[in-house]
């Protein structure tokens, strides 16, 4: 059934491509009319398209890539954050002293914060946390207001509080919406694991069971299937380059197909950008970088090559304001090419065998620590708890048997039955490695504080086999983009909205601040994509 469903939707998508390429004849301009046109067939674009479609609108999604990739959603690390106390209770997750202290710190730090939304999170959280602590002192804790506080704190208070509020408080509902979709594979696809993704800073990263394929496919394929099944129109190989403006209003987009034909899509209700960020565009990275050391934009990246910031450029040409463009995120390869991206049971060491940072740190600070190590290379040390208890024997990102994954890249991935053998394989002193692991394990057991201040733990590193994964820092996510209001309307330079122009996903700024928490991106595209689709499907907004 799954294979037939996949083939059906692939055939339908290809049919749409071929059909569109022949509209108007070879060499003639292709013209389409619709109510809503969405640029970008990724997680945010599909979520918006499906919601607008279900509101009764005619919806066209155009995508510059000739094949279905899902954009960066399709190659995401397959984790999405949401506060989920029912799952925490079912797993009987235990809280650490460091996690208790951090909750208190968040509440106290933001209790009298000037912004009323941020202050409200702390004051909402206090009675809920106190009641939980009294009733279940050993049980792990989470709440949407804690998610919001940590997101805002993790982005240095740069994000728009109203955006952070929506992200955290609508996350679980977005997951329920995704799981409830009809069609092949719809429903019941989230696992019962709840680790912390790299840079998530908390154990709330939900993971899929790979029904829809590897990596981030589970976060866009079900929505894509529903969108096509319910009458949405999808045109691949159509690269938009211009937002059509008439009398100050966005009324459509134009561009060129992979066959070289010009096309115009006119939209009576709105144009939405869901084109992603610019992490694969070296020129834009160098232009906007203000934080990372000079010249460091030349490192590798984790994005698809066609993630070039097209929507941001188009929006700016149409008069849209851009914000947060200087905030460019790097991630360790532990969060991209590694077996999954969970930091829950990972200890990092440099090539001398020394631990150098708390592994549950923010991604920007974690990567800053990595690039200051010898050769800018580190090892992530894990054990059988990661393989069996966190990952279920298969890699998280690509769903490959773990031993096969290690064997596929022997120079960068090592596995051994003993720590002494592992130390020998990676060329570090065994006594040094043993000492750091013993300190790590004491912190897990609560018999001594972590010397680096780490608070997110799950298991000690004491179960064979032992694994070392080499990691470097890579450009991963761009936090800046189009400035939008709470209705996802693009804001113009100098103030006011640009009528008819909307945006959601990585193409916008204001959601994450100067640093995105790991596993908040998938939550972002689902929450804000759905929200934008509902706005586009509802009554027309006044300028």
Angle at 211 between CA 205 and CA 215, to 5 degrees: 55
Indicate the pLDDT class of residue 379, thresholds 50, 70 and 90: very high
If you average pLDDT over residues 120-139, what whole number do you get?
A: 98
Q: In angstroms, rounded to a whole number, what is the distance separating the alpha carbons of residues 296 and 306? A: 21
pLDDT digit string (tens) for 68-122?
A: 766 766 666 678 999 999 999 999 999 988 899 999 999 999 999 999 999 999 9
447 pLDDT exceeds 80?
yes
Write down all domains in the chain, each with its CATH number in brackets: 1-75+190-327+480-543 (3.50.50.60), 80-189 (no CATH), 331-475 (3.90.700.10)
Q: Are 248 and 70 in contact (CB under 8 A)?
A: no
pLDDT digit string (tens) for 164-197?
A: 999 999 999 999 999 888 655 555 578 888 888 8
CA-CA-CA-CA torsion sign (127, 129, 134, 136): positive
Give SS3 for 209: coil
- What is the percentage of the chain residues whose pLDDT exceeds 90? 60
**Which run of H or of E encompasses 172?**
helix 171-179
β-strand partners of 378: 350, 471
Nearest one of 177, 206, 156 to 362, comparing CA atoms: 156
Indicate the pLDDT class of residue 524, thresholds 50, 70 and 90: very high
Residue showing tokens 């969970």: 342
**Which run of H or of E encompasses 251?**
strand 249-257
Give SS3 for 476: strand
Nearest one of 346, 339, 310, 309 to 437, comparing CA atoms: 346
Q: In angstroms, rounded to a whole number, what is the distance separating the alpha carbons of residues 479 and 441? A: 35
434 pLDDT exceeds 70?
yes
pLDDT at 189 (0 to 100): 73
46 Cβ contact partners less than 8 Å away, ≥ 6 residues apart: 61, 70, 220, 223, 224, 227, 529
Q: What is the mean pLDDT of the chain?
A: 87
- The region of weakest confidence among 75-79, 135-139, 217-221, 506-510 is 75-79
Residue showing tokens 């009294």: 134
258 pLDDT exceeds 50?
yes
How do beta strands 481-482 and 249-257 pair?
unpaired
Other Cβ atoms less than 10 A from the Cβ of 131: the count is 10
Q: In angstroms, rounded to a whole number, what is the distance separating the alpha carbons of residues 142 and 86? A: 10
Rg value, the chain, Cα:
23
Q: In angstroms, rounded to a whole number, what is the distance separating the alpha carbons of residues 315 and 319? A: 6
485 pLDDT exceeds 70?
yes
Beta strands in 28-128 (DSSP E): 30-39, 59-63, 80-81
pLDDT at 2 (0 to 100): 39
Nearest one of 197, 168, 156 to 324, comparing CA atoms: 156
267 pLDDT exceeds 50?
yes
pLDDT at 22 (0 to 100): 33
Q: Are 38 and 49 in contact (CB under 8 A)?
A: yes
β-strand partners of 241: none
- The region of weakest confidence among 126-140, 267-281, 332-346, 469-483 is 332-346
Q: Are 126 and 173 in contact (CB under 8 A)?
A: no
If you average pLDDT over residues 244-263, what whole number do you get?
A: 97
21 pLDDT exceeds 80?
no
Token code pair at residue 498: 């640009």
pLDDT digit string (tens) for 197-249?
A: 877 889 999 988 777 876 678 888 899 999 999 999 999 999 999 999 999 99
β-strand partners of 270: 36
Q: In angstroms, rounded to a whole number, what is the distance separating the alpha carbons of residues 89 and 141? A: 9
To the nearest 10°, report the CA torsion of 21, 25, 30, 34. Answer: -80
DSSP state of 270: E
- The region of weakest confidence among 303-312, 419-428, 432-441 is 303-312
pLDDT at 143 (0 to 100): 98
pLDDT at 16 (0 to 100): 46
Question: What's the gap between Cα 169 and its chain centre?
Answer: 17
Q: Are 467 and 382 in contact (CB under 8 A)?
A: yes
pLDDT digit string (tens) for 28-50?
A: 899 999 999 999 999 999 999 99
Token code pair at residue 517: 């928490």
Q: Is the peptide bond before 465 cis (omega within 30 degrees of 0)?
A: yes
β-strand partners of 484: 490
Indicate the pLDDT class of residue 15, thresholds 50, 70 and 90: very low
Phi, psi of 185 (to 5 degrees): 85, -10
Indicate the pLDDT class of residue 257, thresholds 50, 70 and 90: very high
If you average pLDDT over residues 50-74, what whole number do you get?
A: 86
Q: Are 132 and 139 in contact (CB under 8 A)?
A: yes
**Between 318 and 194, where is the model more confident?**
318
57 pLDDT exceeds 90?
yes
501 pLDDT exceeds 70?
yes
339 pLDDT exceeds 80?
no
Question: What's the gap between Cα 307 and its chain centre?
Answer: 14
Token code pair at residue 161: 């509080």
Indicate the pLDDT class of residue 457, thresholds 50, 70 and 90: confident
Nearest one of 530, 360, 526 to 452, comparing CA atoms: 360
For 68, how many CA atoms within 13 A lie in the half-sphere containing its CB? Answer: 25
pLDDT at 33 (0 to 100): 98
For 59, how many CA atoms within 13 A lie in the half-sphere containing its CB? Answer: 32
């Amino acid at each position: 059934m799954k294979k037939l469903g996949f083939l059906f939707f692939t055939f339908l998508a290809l049919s749409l491509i071929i059909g569109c390429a022949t509209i108007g004849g070879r060499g003639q301009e292709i013209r389409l009319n619709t109510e809503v046109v969405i640029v970008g067939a990724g997680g945010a674009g599909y979520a918006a398209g499906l919601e607008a479609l279900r509101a009764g609108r005619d919806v066209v999604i155009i995508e510059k890539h000739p094949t279905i990739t899902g954009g960066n959603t399709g190659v995401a690390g397959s984790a999405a954050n949401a506060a989920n106390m029912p799952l925490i209770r079912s797993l009987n997750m235990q809280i650490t002293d460091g996690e208790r202290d951090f909750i208190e710190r968040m509440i106290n730090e933001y209790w009298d914060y000037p912004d009323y939304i941020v202050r409200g999170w702390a004051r909402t959280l206090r009675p809920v946390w106190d009641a939980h602590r009294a009733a279940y002192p050993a049980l792990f804790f989470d709440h949407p207001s804690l998610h919001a506080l940590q997101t805002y704190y993790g982005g240095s208070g740069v994000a728009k509080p109203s955006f952070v509020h929506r992200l955290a408080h609508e996350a679980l509902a977005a997951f329920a919406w995704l799981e409830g979709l009809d069609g092949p594979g719809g429903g019941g696809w989230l696992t019962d694991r709840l680790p912390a993704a790299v840079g998530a800073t908390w154990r709330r990263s939900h993971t899929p069971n790979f029904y829809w394929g590897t990596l981030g496919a589970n976060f866009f394929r079900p929505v894509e299937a529903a969108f096509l099944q319910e009458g949405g129109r999808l045109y691949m190989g159509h690269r938009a380059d211009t937002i059509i403006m008439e009398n100050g209003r966005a009324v459509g987009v134009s561009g060129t197909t992979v066959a070289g034909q010009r096309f115009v899509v006119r939209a009576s209700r709105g144009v939405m950008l869901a084109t992603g960020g610019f992490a694969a565009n070296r020129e834009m990275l160098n232009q906007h970088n203000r934080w990372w050391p000079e010249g460091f934009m030349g490192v590798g990246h984790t994005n698809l090559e066609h993630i070039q910031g097209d929507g941001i450029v188009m929006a700016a040409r149409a008069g849209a304001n851009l914000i947060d463009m200087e905030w460019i995120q790097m991630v360790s390869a532990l969060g991209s090419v590694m077996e999954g991206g969970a930091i829950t049971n990972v200890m990092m060491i440099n090539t001398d065998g020394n631990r150098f940072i708390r592994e549950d740190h923010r991604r920007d600070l974690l990567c800053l620590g990595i690039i200051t190590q010898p050769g800018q290379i580190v090892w992530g040390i894990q054990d059988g708890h990661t393989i069996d208890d966190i990952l279920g024997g298969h890699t998280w990102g690509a769903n490959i048997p773990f031993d096969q994954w290690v064997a596929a890249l022997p120079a960068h991935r090592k596995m051994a039955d003993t720590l002494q053998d592992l130390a020998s394989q990676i060329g570090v002193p065994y006594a040094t490695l043993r000492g750091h692991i013993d300190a790590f394990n004491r912190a897990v057991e609560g018999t001594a504080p972590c010397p680096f201040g780490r608070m997110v733990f799950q298991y000690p590193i004491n179960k064979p086999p032992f694994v070392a994964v080499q990691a470097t820092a890579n450009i991963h996510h761009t936090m800046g983009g189009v400035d939008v209001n709470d209705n996802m309307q693009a804001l113009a330079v100098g103030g006011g909205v640009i009528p008819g122009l909307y945006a959601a996903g990585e193409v916008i700024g204001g959601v994450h601040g100067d640093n995105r928490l790991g596993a908040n991106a998938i939550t972002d595209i689902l929450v804000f994509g759905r929200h934008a689709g509902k706005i586009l499907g509802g009554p027309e907004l006044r300028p």
